[in-house]
C-alpha cells in the first residue's frame, strides 16, 4: 500500500516537472531571445557568485573599529555614527575601541598590525598617511591599510580674534608681515595644515600655539589668548554667536552650505585647499571575500539617508566613496598634499 | 530660564528617568570603586547603550555613571588605602587611618555626604550660571593655566611637611618623568628611544594605580594571614550633623575650588581634590590631625572632586570644551543624539538640556542614599582574608591599567611604578608628590610653551592679566606658608622658654 502511495506521488511530481520543462522550453525562440536568456542567466550567475562571495564570509562576532583618537573628537563621533548604522544593517555589533596616544600613531599601529581577518577595522583620516614623515618610529605607511569607504570630507573655517581688526585672509597676511600673530591648533593636524600652507605660500611665519583640539583653540581665540585658528564647522557652530571671533575663509574647494558668506582660500587669493577625509579601513592583505562583505555593508551604510542626515547634523560634510573608489580618492588627496607636508616637516626639523 | 527649569523638573521625575539615574549611579559607583577602573570607563561602556534612548534619558544615565564613578573611587581609598581613581588619593590619606581605628563607617558616611553636597552645588552652578561661568572659562588662558599648575605643585610642600626635602626630591623626579614624550610645541620625540608607546609620555593613570595599589598589596604580603580589620561591621554610616556644622567654611571653599577647577578644561577632579585638601589643611585649627584621620580632609577632598562633575559640564555645554575625561564622552553623546554644544543647547534643545541639568542635581541627592546603601555592603571588603584581597587587587590593577588604552605597555608601567612606590615607602619617602607632579607636569610644560609664544619678547607681560596676578599671590602664599609657620613656631617656642 505504501509503495503504491509513493509511486503515485513520484508520478505526480514527474508530471509536474515535465509540464514545467515544457512551458520553459516550448514555443518558438529567436536567437535574440536565446542571447537574452544567456545574458540573463550569466548576470544571475554573476550576482549569485557575487552574493555567494559576500555571504561566504561573515564576522564571527562583534567587529572592533579601532579609533586612534579620544572620545568626543570628530574621529570618535564619526566612528560611532558609522558603527551605529553598520550594526543595524549587518546585524552584528560594531564596537568602537578608542586606542589613543602618540598623536594617533598608537591606534594606527594597532590597526596596521591587526590580523586582516575582518574582525578589526580602523577609523582613519588622510593625514595619518603622513605619519611616517611627521613622527619618528612609525612602522606603517599608506600601503598598510585597505580603504573600505570614505564618508566625510571636512574643510575648516579660519577664524581670527576680532581685536586684530582683519576681516579677510589678505588682511591677516598683511598684518603678519609686521606683527607676531599666533596660530593655534594641534601640531600636524587638519587644524594646522592651513597655517602650514599659508606659511609655505607667502613666506610669512606665525607663532605656533599647540592646543589639544579645535574647540580648545577656538576658545583661546575667543578669549583673546590666541590670534588665529582653523576649526571644523561643528566646532565653529558652538561659538558662532561669540562677538570676539571673525571667520575669514574656508579651506575647502567650495564655500560651505551652512556659511555661504565665508569665501574660500582660493577666492581670497591663495591657491590652496585642504579637507580632512574620514574613512573606514581594514588592515592590508585582507581576503577578497572579507573586503567584498564590508564593501557591501559600507555601501548600505553610506546610502542610508538617515546616516547622511546624522552626519550633517554632527557638522560633517558627507561624501560617498566605497571600495576601490575610496582607495583612489584617498590616494589622490595623498598625492595632492605630500609635497607640502614634507616641506613643513623639514621646516620644523630645521 | 525658569520655565525651562520647571519643564526639566517635570521631565526628570518620570519613572524611566529615575530608574536610569539609579542604574547609572550603581554602575558608576562600581566602576569608581574598583581600583584601576574609572568614571571615564563607566561612561564609555554605557555610551553605546544610549544609542536607542531618548536623548534626555541617555544624558541622565551617563550623568549618573559620571557622578557615581567620581564618588565610588573614595570607597577603596577609605577601606583599603587604595584610591579607586586618582581624585580620591587625598581621601585615602585620612580615610585609611580612620578605617584602621575601626571608624570606617564614619569615614564612609562623611565622604558620601560631602560627595553629595559637592555634586549638588556643582549641579546648581551648572543650572544657574553656565553662560556666566563659561565666559570666565574663556578668560583662562595659558598664563593662568601655568599659574594654576605651579600653584598645584605648591601642594607638595604641604603634603609632607615632615619629609619636606624628600617630597621635593620625589616631585622633581616625577616632573622629569613627565617630560618624556612629544615636545608640546613642535612634536619632537624626547626620551622615547624610538618607542611609539612613549610618544604621548608615561601613562599617568596606570602609574598612579601601581604606585598606590601595589605597595598596599606588598604590605599585605608581609603578613599574609588574617584580615585587614577583624571587626565584621563598618559601624554607623550616617554622619553626625556636628561633623558638617563645624565645616561650613571648608564645604563652601571646597565647592568653589571644585567648580572652578571643573570649568578649566585642562584640570580635572584629581587636581581639585589635592588643591582643596591643601587649602583645608592650611586653614585648619588642627593641621596636626591631617594624615591621622582628619574629617576635615575627607570633606575637602570629596566635596571638591565631586564639585568638578557639574563644573566640567559648563564649558562642555556652552563651548564644546570638555572639562574632564568623562565630560569628553558627553560630547560624543551629544553629537550622537543630534545635538550640538553651544547656545543652541539652551534654546533649540532646551527641553533635553534642562532635563539633564535638573537631573544632575537630583542624581547628586540620590547619590547620598545609593552611596550609603553601597557602603553598607562594600564595608565588608575589609574582612576578606588578605590572601584573597591582595590577589583580587592585583588582578583589578592589571585589568584596569590594560583597559585604558588596551596596551600591555601600560601594565608594565603599572608594575614598575608599584615596585618603585613600595621601595619609596619602605625608605620613608612620600609617594603622593608623584601623583601631583605627573598630573601637573605636562600641563605646566604645555602652558609655559604656549605663554612663551604669546609673549615672545616680554614674558613679564603676563602680569598685566588680573587672574594671573591673583594666582601669583596664591603661589607666593603657598610657598611662603611653611617658612612662615616655621618662623612662628620658632618664636612661640622662644617665648615659652623665656617664660619658663
Strand pairing category for A228-231 and A157-161: antiparallel
Span A108-129, mean pLDDT?
A: 91
**β-sheet bridge partners, residue A249:** A158
Q: Structural domain tally of chain A?
A: 2
User: Strand, helix or coil at A159?
Assistant: strand
Residue A253 neighbours by CB under 8 Å, 6+ apart: A155, A264, A266, A273, A275
Only one residue has cell 558603527, namely: A83
Q: Are residues A176 and A147 in the same domain?
A: no
Mark residue A269 as left, alpha or beta (left: phi above 0; alpha: psi -120 to 50; beta: remaining).
Answer: left
- Residues of A within 8 A of B341 (CB-CB) are 238
Are the C-beta atoms of B404 and B204 separated by less than 8 Å? no
- What is the domain extent for residue B368? 2-499
CA proximity to B207, closest of B428, B38, B410, B441:
B410
Contacts of A185 in chain B (CB under 8 A): none
Residue A329 counted as domain residue = yes
The fraction of chain A above a pLDDT of 90, given in percent, is 38
pLDDT in the model for residue A43: 43
According to the per-residue pLDDT averaged within each range, which of A18-32, A221-235, B265-279 is highest? A221-235
Residue B448: CB partners within 8 Å, gap ≥ 6? B142, B146
Burial class for A3, CB neighbours closer than 10 Å (0-12, 13-18, 19+): exposed
Range A249-276 average pLDDT: 90
Cell numbers 601594565 correspond to what residue?
Answer: B411
With a cut of 90, say whether residue A38 has pLDDT above it. Answer: no
Average pLDDT estimate for A11-39: 36
* Whether the Cβ atoms of residue A235 and residue A155 lie closer than 8 Å to each other: no
CB contact under 8 A, B342 and A241: yes
The C-alpha cell 558627553 sits at: B330
Identify whether residues A123 and A165 lie together within a single domain.
no
The label of the residue with cell 580615610 reads B95
pLDDT given for residue B176 in this prediction: 93
Residues A243 and A328 in one domain: no
Evaluate whether residue A18 is within a structural domain. Answer: no
- Euclidean distance between CA atoms B10 and A242, whole angstroms: 32
User: For A84, which of B51, B195, B405 is closest by C-beta distance?
Assistant: B51
Which stretch of A191-200, A240-249, B93-102 has the lowest confidence by average pLDDT?
Answer: A191-200
Predicted local distance difference test score (pLDDT) of residue A40: 42
Which of B194, B342, B453 minimises the CB distance to A207? B453
A102: in domain: yes
Question: Residue B264 in contact with residue B312, Cβ under 8 Å?
Answer: no
Among A213, A234, A250, where does a domain finish?
A250
Q: Residue A47's pLDDT is what?
A: 44
- The count of structural domains within chain B is 1
**DSSP three-state, residue A272:** coil
Q: Report chain A residues whose CB lies below 8 A from the CB of B457.
A: 180
Pairing of strands A182-184, A63-67: unpaired
Residue-averaged pLDDT of chain A: 80
* Residue closest to B44 by CA, chosen among B364, B331, B359: B331
Q: Which residue of B has its CA nearest to A219?
A: B138
Return d(Cα B87, Cα B71) in angstroms, integer: 9
Task: At B234, give phi and psi (nearest 5°).
Answer: -90, -10
B299 with B114: CB under 8 angstroms?
yes
Q: What is the DSSP letter of A264?
A: B
Choose among B340, B450, B454: nearest Cβ to A238. B340
Residue A276 pLDDT > 80? yes
* Residue A282 contacts residue A146 (beta carbons within 8 Å): yes
Are A236 and A288 found together in one domain? Answer: no
Query: What per-residue confidence (pLDDT) applies to A18?
Result: 34
Q: Tell me, what's the pLDDT at A9?
A: 38
Whether A4 is covered by a domain: the verdict is no
**A70 and A135 in one domain?**
yes
Confidence of residue A245 (pLDDT cuts 50, 70, 90): very high
Range of the domain at A244: 157-250
ipTM tops the 0.85 cut: no
In chain A, which residue ranges form alpha helices assigned H by DSSP?
Answer: 2-25, 31-56, 74-90, 105-113, 131-134, 169-178, 193-202, 214-222, 233-239, 288-303, 305-313, 324-349
Which triple of cell numbers denotes residue A110?
A: 594597532
Query: Residue A26: what pLDDT?
Result: 32
Taking CA B70 as the corner, what is the angle to CA B68 and CA B76, rounded to the nearest 5 degrees? 95
CATH of the domain at A205: 3.40.190.10
The answer to whether residues A147 and A163 belong to one domain is: no
From the candidates B206, B353, B406, which should be mutated to test the interface with A, based on the most A CB atoms within 10 A? B406
Alpha helices in B189-324 (DSSP H): 204-222, 241-245, 248-263, 269-283, 295-319
B-chain residue closest to A218, CA distance: B319
Is B453's CB within 8 Å of A96's CB?
A: no
The closest CB to that of A137, out of B196, B336, B407, belongs to B196
Q: What is the DSSP secondary-structure string of A21-69?
A: HHHHH-S---HHHHHHHHHHHHHHHHHHHHHHHHHH---SSPEEEEESS
Distance from CA of B138 to the nearest CA of A (A): 5
Contact (CB, 8 A) for A134 and A341:
yes
Q: Tell me the pLDDT tens digit for each residue of B2-59.
A: 777 888 788 888 888 899 999 999 999 988 888 777 788 888 888 878 877 888 899 9
Nearest to B453 among A97, A110, A208 (CB): A208
Whole-number pLDDT of residue B73: 86
Rounded distance between C-alpha atoms, residue A319 and residue A48, angstroms: 29
Please state, in angstroms and as integers, the Cα–Cα distance from residue A23 to each residue in B123, B135, B248, following that order: 78, 81, 95
Q: What's the confidence (pLDDT) of residue A240?
A: 83
A contact test, residue of B53, B145, B330, B335 with most A CBs within 10 A: B335
Model pTM? 0.74
Q: How far apart are alpha carbons B230 and B385 in whole angstroms? A: 10
CATH of the domain at A119: 3.40.190.150
CA angle A54, A58, A59 (to 5 degrees): 145
Enumerate residue ranges in chain B where pLDDT < 50: none
Same domain, A296 and A238: no
* Cα–Cα distance measured from residue A197 to residue A298, given in angstroms and rounded to the nearest whole number: 33
The torsion angles phi and psi of A283, rounded to 5 degrees, stand at -55, 145
Amino acid at each position: 500500500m505504501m509503495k503504491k502511495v509513493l509511486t503515485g506521488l513520484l508520478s505526480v511530481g514527474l508530471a509536474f516537472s515535465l509540464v514545467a520543462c515544457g512551458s520553459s522550453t516550448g514555443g518558438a525562440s529567436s536567437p535574440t531571445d536565446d542571447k537574452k536568456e544567456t545574458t540573463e542567466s550569466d548576470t544571475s550567475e554573476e550576482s549569485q557568485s557575487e552574493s555567494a562571495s559576500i555571504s561566504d564570509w561573515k564576522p564571527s562576532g562583534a567587529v572592533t573599529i579601532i579609533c586612534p583618537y579620544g572620545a568626543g573628537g570628530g574621529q570618535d563621533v564619526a566612528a560611532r555614527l558609522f558603527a551605529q548604522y553598520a550594526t543595524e544593517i549587518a546585524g552584528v555589533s560594531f564596537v568602537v575601541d578608542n586606542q589613543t596616544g602618540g598623536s594617533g600613531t598608537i591606534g594606527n599601529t594597532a590597526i596596521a598590525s591587526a590580523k586582516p581577518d575582518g574582525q578589526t577595522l580602523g577609523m582613519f583620516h588622510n593625514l595619518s598617511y603622513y605619519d611616517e614623515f611627521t613622527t619618528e618610529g612609525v612602522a606603517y605607511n599608506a600601503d598598510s591599510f585597505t580603504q573600505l569607504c570614505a564618508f566625510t570630507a571636512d574643510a575648516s573655517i579660519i577664524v581670527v580674534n576680532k581685536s586684530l581688526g582683519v576681516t579677510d585672509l589678505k588682511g591677516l597676511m598683511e598684518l603678519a608681515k609686521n606683527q607676531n600673530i599666533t596660530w593655534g591648533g594641534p601640531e600636524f593636524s587638519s587644524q594646522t595644515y592651513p597655517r602650514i600652507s599659508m606659511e609655505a605660500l607667502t613666506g610669512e611665519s606665525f607663532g605656533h600655539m599647540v592646543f589639544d583640539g579645535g574647540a580648545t583653540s577656538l576658545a583661546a581665540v575667543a578669549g583673546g589668548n590666541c590670534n588665529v585658528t582653523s576649526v571644523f564647522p561643528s566646532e565653529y557652530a558652538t561659538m558662532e554667536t561669540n562677538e570676539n571671533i571673525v571667520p575669514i575663509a574656508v579651506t575647502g574647494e567650495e564655500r560651505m552650505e551652512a556659511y555661504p558668506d565665508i569665501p574660500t582660500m582660493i577666492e581670497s587669493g591663495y591657491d590652496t585647499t585642504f579637507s580632512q577625509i574620514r574613512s573606514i579601513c581594514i588592515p592590508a592583505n585582507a581576503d577578497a571575500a572579507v573586503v567584498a562583505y564590508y564593501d557591501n555593508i559600507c555601501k548600505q551604510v553610506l546610502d542610508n539617508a538617515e546616516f547622511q542626515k546624522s552626519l550633517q547634523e554632527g557638522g560633517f560634510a558627507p561624501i560617498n566613496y566605497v571600495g576601490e573608489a575610496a582607495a583612489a580618492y584617498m590616494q589622490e588627496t595623498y598625492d595632492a598634499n605630500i609635497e607640502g607636508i614634507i616641506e613643513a616637516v623639514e621646516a620644523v626639523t630645521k | 530660564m525658569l520655565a525651562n527649569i520647571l519643564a526639566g523638573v517635570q521631565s526628570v521625575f518620570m519613572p524611566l528617568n529615575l530608574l536610569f539615574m539609579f542604574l547609572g549611579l550603581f554602575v558608576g559607583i562600581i566602576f569608581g570603586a574598583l581600583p584601576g577602573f574609572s568614571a571615564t570607563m563607566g561612561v564609555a561602556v554605557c555610551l553605546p547603550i544610549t544609542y536607542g534612548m531618548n536623548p534626555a534619558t541617555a544624558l541622565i544615565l551617563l550623568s549618573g555613571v559620571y557622578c557615581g564613578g567620581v564618588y565610588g573611587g573614595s570607597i577603596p581609598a577609605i577601606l583599603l588605602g587604595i584610591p579607586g581613581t586618582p581624585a580620591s588619593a587625598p581621601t585615602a590619606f585620612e580615610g585609611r587611618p580612620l578605617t584602621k581605628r575601626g571608624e570606617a563607617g564614619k569615614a564612609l558616611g562623611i565622604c558620601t555626604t560631602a560627595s553629595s553636597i559637592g555634586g549638588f552645588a556643582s549641579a546648581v552652578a551648572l543650572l544657574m550660571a553656565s553662560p556666566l561661568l563659561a565666559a570666565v572659562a574663556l578668560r583662562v588662558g595659558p598664563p593662568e593655566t601655568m599659574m594654576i599648575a605651579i600653584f598645584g605643585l605648591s601642594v607638595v610642600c604641604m603634603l609632607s611637611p615632615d619629609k619636606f626635602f624628600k617630597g621635593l626630591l620625589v616631585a622633581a623626579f616625577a616632573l622629569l618623568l613627565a617630560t618624556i614624550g612629544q615636545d608640546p610645541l613642535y612634536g619632537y620625540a624626547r626620551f622615547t628611544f624610538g618607542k611609539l608607546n612613549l610618544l604621548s609620555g608615561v601613562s599617568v593613570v596606570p602609574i598612579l594605580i601601581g604606585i598606590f595599589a601595589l605597595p598596599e598589596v606588598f604590605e599585605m604580603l608581609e603578613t599574609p594571614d588574617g584580615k585587614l580589620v577583624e571587626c565584621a561591621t563598618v559601624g554607623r554610616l550616617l554622619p553626625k550633623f556636628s561633623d558638617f556644622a563645624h565645616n561650613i567654611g571648608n564645604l563652601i571653599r571646597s565647592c568653589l575650588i571644585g567648580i572652578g577647577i571643573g570649568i578649566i578644561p585642562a584640570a580635572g577632579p584629581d587636581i581639585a581634590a589635592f588643591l582643596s585638601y591643601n587649602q583645608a589643611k592650611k586653614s585648619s585649627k588642627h593641621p596636626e590631625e591631617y594624615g591621622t584621620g582628619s574629617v576635615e580632609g575627607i570633606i575637602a577632598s570629596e566635596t571638591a572632586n565631586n564639585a568638578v562633575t557639574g563644573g566640567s559640564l559648563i564649558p562642555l555645554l556652552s563651548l564644546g570644551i570638555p572639562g574632564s575625561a568623562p565630560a569628553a564622552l558627553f560630547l560624543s553623546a551629544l553629537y550622537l543624539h543630534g545635538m550640538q554644544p553651544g547656545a543652541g543647547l539652551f534654546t533649540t534643545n532646551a527641553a533635553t538640556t534642562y532635563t539633564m541639568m535638573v537631573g544632575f542635581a537630583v542624581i547628586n541627592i540620590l547619590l547620598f542614599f545609593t552611596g550609603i546603601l553601597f557602603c553598607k555592603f562594600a564595608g565588608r571588603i575589609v574582612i576578606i582574608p588578605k590572601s584573597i584581597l591582595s590577589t583580587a587587587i592585583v588582578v583589578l590593577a592589571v585589568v584596569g591599567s590594560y583597559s585604558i588604552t588596551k596596551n600591555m605597555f601600560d601594565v608594565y608601567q603599572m608594575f614598575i611604578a608599584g615596585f618603585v612606590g613600595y621601595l619609596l615607602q619602605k625608605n620613608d619617602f612620600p609617594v603622593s608628590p608623584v601623583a601631583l607632579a605627573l598630573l601637573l607636569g605636562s600641563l605646566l610644560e604645555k602652558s609655559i610653551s604656549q605663554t612663551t609664544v604669546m609673549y615672545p619678547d616680554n614674558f613679564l607681560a603676563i602680569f598685566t592679566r588680573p587672574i594671573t596676578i591673583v594666582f601669583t599671590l596664591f603661589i607666593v602664599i603657598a610657598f611662603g606658608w611653611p617658612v612662615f609657620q616655621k618662623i612662628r613656631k620658632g618664636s612661640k617656642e622662644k617665648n615659652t622658654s623665656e617664660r619658663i
